[in-house]
């Protein structure tokens, strides 16, 4: 078991039986010991097990956000976009590869977690088609009849099975589980004839998700043989990271490389976690953290992502990150926290979910970008762009800017985030992995328990959790305490405030009887971090703050197919000045940045719906202009703070910052200027 039992032992105080102990992450050494003792033919348990899909439901702003999503592109793509609407997977003649399964991967949890009956009805029809048209040899119908004998990349099948098990978990439709099992058998035989290559080889671990799901329900030994085969034939990322020179950004307008592909990389961050469940390889746990550290060091972006447009491209805030990488990194972090139980993975998940994810959609979620930029003062059809391998449309808000993969794959972000907010502990309790308004149901030793979280976090510091057990039951409620907070407290049933240690899992074990309120406070302190070219970024709690810029939206590409409103393409240009330097002392940012609460809007991630606004002081930098359609880079030599002779003589002004995720265009990494 990945949790150290000693850490779980509680010291029960008199009166209110509450025990709190931070949980320590296990070490590779402990893995090595358990690897010897572990049965050779089983899967290691994850530290925390996600609740069955459907057991966590949205509330508050997250409910509104999912509704916006279902009323936008996610809930309608299958009605008009040929690559889904007429997919070969559903009996049509359009694309028969990854696009329909990608859409289903997000649309299935979205429809069921919202109980959206029309979406559910359409999806059921599509799944019926996939299952009833599977061939007797186990191959799904879009693959050619000779697939059993010829060489075909298995990626779309790895993906489809991952999608189908979600449907099975939500509906219990036994035909679907049988179809997945049949497909996995065909794959097991097929891999001996044609080992993994290309996409399948770089994404082998996605195949473990359905293999583990079926194994946990059937305990068929051949499934674990298949899992070992996938791992053996797939890319070894630990070896790759030791050999590939990841410090080098892909040159602008450079070379597309499998090994630096940002989506592959984001997906692969969970390879060590899934692989560890299979064979507890010593080093998997440490490598999972190391892989992200390396990506941060050379390609890290303040929004929680690493750059990739669409290959890893350095720390420059202009370079951008592809949307597929954002949703895939979130899904990887959900697995990493579940398997290894390290709260740092869930801190990171929130950072991506509350910043990079919402920023890259229009507030109504009808339009998305291919690449979002941290410093993005305008998004235009730009032939002078400096993306590495992406094209001039890449940062437009639109239907399928640059390439349609994100159009198909973007839907999983919010629904899977919701599904992973709460997980079960190995001792029948529940852990709050990430925080957003939600309701969860689980059973603790047979007793049904409902947990609700009411909050406007991440726009507020206070979270109210209500635990209702059907009958009195003893179990732990484990709270993730973010590493960025100081002075965090928890108060149980109106009792005294107890301190909680940042960066730990805080355990509350008691007899839960009736309805018990747990009030959590995570103080958020403003931070100014120094980034690329010595620029400053303003952060507070899990949110990054950006300059609020007036926007002018212009419709483009109206002559292209399927660009009827509301799923059209748009450029956005600044309607107000963006070229400000900030007057902030990074050691005492609280002295010059002031935060004001606002109601969280109907559209929580929109410039006017921002639930928190910051006021800071800055000056315009007249020499800071557009270059090739983007905000020019400001080199360290031009940073006025370091070079007083070059400082701006413009008047000091108050500037408004809003959460990065609420912006459509923005400056996030600011040059420093003098007060």
C-beta of 107 vs 226, nearer to Zn ion: 107
Gap between the Cα atoms of 43 and 274, Å rounded: 10
Q: Are 457 and 436 in contact (CB under 8 A)?
A: yes
Both tokens of residue 453?
């979280």
Peptide bond into 626 cis (omega under 30): no
Per DSSP, the chain holds a count of helices (H) and strands (E) of: 21, 25
C-beta of 352 vs 536, nearer to Zn ion: 352
C-beta of 127 vs 266, nearer to Zn ion: 266
CA 85 to chain centre: 26
Residue showing the smallest CB distance to Zn ion in the complex? 324
Gap between the Cα atoms of 593 and 613, Å rounded: 10
Stretch that binds Zn ion, among 272-280, 315-323, 566-574, 648-656 (CB under 5 A): 315-323
Peptide bond into 458 cis (omega under 30): yes
Stretch that binds Zn ion, among 58-66, 189-197, 401-409, 660-668 (CB under 5 A): 401-409
Does residue 324 interact with Zn ion by CB under 5 A? yes
Stretch that binds Zn ion, among 106-114, 162-170, 316-324, 351-359 (CB under 5 A): 316-324
Both tokens of residue 180?
């997945």
Please give the size of the binding site for Zn ion, defined by CB under 5 A: 4
Shortest distance in whole angstroms from residue 364 CB to Zn ion: 20
Which residues are registered as beta bridge partners of 361? 368
C-beta of 405 vs 479, nearer to Zn ion: 405
Straight-line distance from the first to the last Cα atom of the chain, in angstroms, rounded to the nearest whole number: 56
Shortest distance in whole angstroms from residue 72 CB to Zn ion: 17
Tell me which residue of 546, 536, 623 sits closest to 583, measured CA to CA. Answer: 536
C-beta of 64 vs 411, nearer to Zn ion: 411
Stretch that binds Zn ion, among 42-50, 201-209, 318-326, 474-482 (CB under 5 A): 318-326
Stretch that binds Zn ion, among 13-21, 322-330, 590-598, 602-610 (CB under 5 A): 322-330
Shortest distance in whole angstroms from residue 196 CB to Zn ion: 21
C-beta of 324 vs 423, nearer to Zn ion: 324
Q: Are 649 and 344 in contact (CB under 8 A)?
A: no
C-beta of 99 vs 285, nearer to Zn ion: 99
Shortest distance in whole angstroms from residue 571 CB to Zn ion: 20
Shortest distance in whole angstroms from residue 406 CB to Zn ion: 3
Q: What are residue 18's phi and psi, to 5 degrees?
A: -120, 125
Does residue 405 interact with Zn ion by CB under 5 A? yes
C-beta of 264 vs 546, nearer to Zn ion: 264
Does residue 327 interact with Zn ion by CB under 5 A? no
C-beta of 78 vs 371, nearer to Zn ion: 371
Gap between the Cα atoms of 286 and 329, Å rounded: 18
Q: Which of residues 2-41 bind Zn ion (CB under 5 A)?
A: none
Gap between the Cα atoms of 345 and 161, Å rounded: 26
Stretch that binds Zn ion, among 48-56, 106-114, 319-327, 590-598 (CB under 5 A): 319-327
Tell me which residue of 424, 420, 418, 413 sits closest to 437, measured CA to CA. Answer: 418
Shortest distance in whole angstroms from residue 371 CB to Zn ion: 9
Q: Where are the beta strands (DSSP E) in 55-211?
A: 56-58
Shortest distance in whole angstroms from residue 102 CB to Zn ion: 9
SS3 state at 430: strand
Peptide bond into 84 cis (omega under 30): no
Q: Are 444 and 51 in contact (CB under 8 A)?
A: no
C-beta of 73 vs 536, nearer to Zn ion: 73
Stretch that binds Zn ion, among 104-112, 113-121, 166-174, 404-412 (CB under 5 A): 404-412
C-beta of 96 vs 308, nearer to Zn ion: 308
Residue 60 gets the label, from left (phi > 0), alpha (psi -120 to 50) or beta, of left
At CA 60, angle to CA 58 and CA 62, rounded to 5? 50
SS3 state at 575: coil
Q: Tell me 410's DSSP state.
A: G
Choose, by CB under 5 A, the member of 70, 84, 226, 406 that binds Zn ion: 406
Does residue 73 interact with Zn ion by CB under 5 A? no
Stretch that binds Zn ion, among 73-81, 406-414, 421-429, 558-566 (CB under 5 A): 406-414
Gap between the Cα atoms of 649 and 581, Å rounded: 11
Q: Which of residues 230-249 bind Zn ion (CB under 5 A)?
A: none
Shortest distance in whole angstroms from residue 407 CB to Zn ion: 8
Shortest distance in whole angstroms from residue 398 CB to Zn ion: 13
The site for Zn ion (CB under 5 A) is made up of 322, 324, 405-406
């Amino acid at each position: 078991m990945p949790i150290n039992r000693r850490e779980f032992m509680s010291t029960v105080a008199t009166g209110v039986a509450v025990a709190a102990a931070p949980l320590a992450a296990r070490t590779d050494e402990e893995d090595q010991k358990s690897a010897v003792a572990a049965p050779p033919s089983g899967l290691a348990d994850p530290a925390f097990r996600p609740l069955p899909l459907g057991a966590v439901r949205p509330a508050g702003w997250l409910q509104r956000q999912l509704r916006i999503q279902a009323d936008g592109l996610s809930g309608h793509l299958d009605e008009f976009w040929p690559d889904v609407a007429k997919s070969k997977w559903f009996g049509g003649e359009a694309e028969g590869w990854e696009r329909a399964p990608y859409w289903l991967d997000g649309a299935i949890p979205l429809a069921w977690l919202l109980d959206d009956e029309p979406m559910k009805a359409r999806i059921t029809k599509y799944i019926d088609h996939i299952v009833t048209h599977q061939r007797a040899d186990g191959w799904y119908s879009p693959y050619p009849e000779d697939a059993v004998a010829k060489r075909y990349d298995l990626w779309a099948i790895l993906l489809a099975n991952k999608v189908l098990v979600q449907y099975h978990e939500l509906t219990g439709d036994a035909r679907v589980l049988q179809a997945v099992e049949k497909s996995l058998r065909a794959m097991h035989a097929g891999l001996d004839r044609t080992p993994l290559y290309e996409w399948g080889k770089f994404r082998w671990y996605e195949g473990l998700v359905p293999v583990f799901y079926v194994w946990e329900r059937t305990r068929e030994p051949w499934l674990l043989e298949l899992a070992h085969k996938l791992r053996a034939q797939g890319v070894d990322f630990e070896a790759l990271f030791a050999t590939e020179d990841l410090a080098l950004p892909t040159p602008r307008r450079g070379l597309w490389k499998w090994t630096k592909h940002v989506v592959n990389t984001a997906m692969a961050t969970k390879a060590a976690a899934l692989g560890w469940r299979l064979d507890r390889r010593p080093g998997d746990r440490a490598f999972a953290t190391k892989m992200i550290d390396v990506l941060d060091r050379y390609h890290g972006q303040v929004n929680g992502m690493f750059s990739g447009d669409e290959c890893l491209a350095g720390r420059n805030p202009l370079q951008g990150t592809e949307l597929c990488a954002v949703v895939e990194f979130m899904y990887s972090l959900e697995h990493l926290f579940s398997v290894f139980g390290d709260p740092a993975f869930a801190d990171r998940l929130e950072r991506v979910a509350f910043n990079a994810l919402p920023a890259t959609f229009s507030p109504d979620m009808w339009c998305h970008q291919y690449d979002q930029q941290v410093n993005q003062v305008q998004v235009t059809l730009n032939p002078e762009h400096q993306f590495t391998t992406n094209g001039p449309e890449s940062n437009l808000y639109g239907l399928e800017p640059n390439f349609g993969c994100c159009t198909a794959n973007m839907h999983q972000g919010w629904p899977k985030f919701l599904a992973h907010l709460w997980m079960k502990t190995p001792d029948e309790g529940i852990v709050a992995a990430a925080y957003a308004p939600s309701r969860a149901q689980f059973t603790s030793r047979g007793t049904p328990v409902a947990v609700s979280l009411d909050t406007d976090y991440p726009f507020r510091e206070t979270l109210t959790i209500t635990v209702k057990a059907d009958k009195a039951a003893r179990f732990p409620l484990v709270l993730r305490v973010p590493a960025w907070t100081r002075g965090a407290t928890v108060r149980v049933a109106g009792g005294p405030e107890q301190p909680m240690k940042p960066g730990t899992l805080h355990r509350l074990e008691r007899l839960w009887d009736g309805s018990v309120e747990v009030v959590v406070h995570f103080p958020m302190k403003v931070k100014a971090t120094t980034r690329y070219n010595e620029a400053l970024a303003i952060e507070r709690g899990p949110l990054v703050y950006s300059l609020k810029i007036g926007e002018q939206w212009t419709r483009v590409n109206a002559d292209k197919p399927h660009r009827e409103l509301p799923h059209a393409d748009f450029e956005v240009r600044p309607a107000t000045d963006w070229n400000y330097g900030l007057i902030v002392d990074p050691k005492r940012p609280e002295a010059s940045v002031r935060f004001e609460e606002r109601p969280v809007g109907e559209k929580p991630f929109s410039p006017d719906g921002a639930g928190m606004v910051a006021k800071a002081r800055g000056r315009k930098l007249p020499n800071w202009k557009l270059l090739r359609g983007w905000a020019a880079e400001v080199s360290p030599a031009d940073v006025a703070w370091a070079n007083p002779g070059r400082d701006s003589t413009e008047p000091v002004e108050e500037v408004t910052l809003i959460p990065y995720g609420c912006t459509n265009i923005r400056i996030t990494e600011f040059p420093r200027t003098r007060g």
